[in-house]
Amino acid sequence: MVLTRSTEELQRDRRIWDLVYNGILHSVASGAQVGNQAIGILQLDKTPALKIRDAGKRHDL
For the chain, give the secondary structure using H, E and C.
Answer: CCCCCCHHHHHHCHHHHHHHHHHHHHHHHCCCCCCHHHHHHHCHHHCCHHHHHHHHHHHHC
The whole-model pTM stands at 0.74
Q: What is the pLDDT of residue 61?
A: 46
3-59 per-position pLDDT tens digit: 687 878 878 888 988 998 999 999 999 999 999 999 998 999 999 999 999 898 766
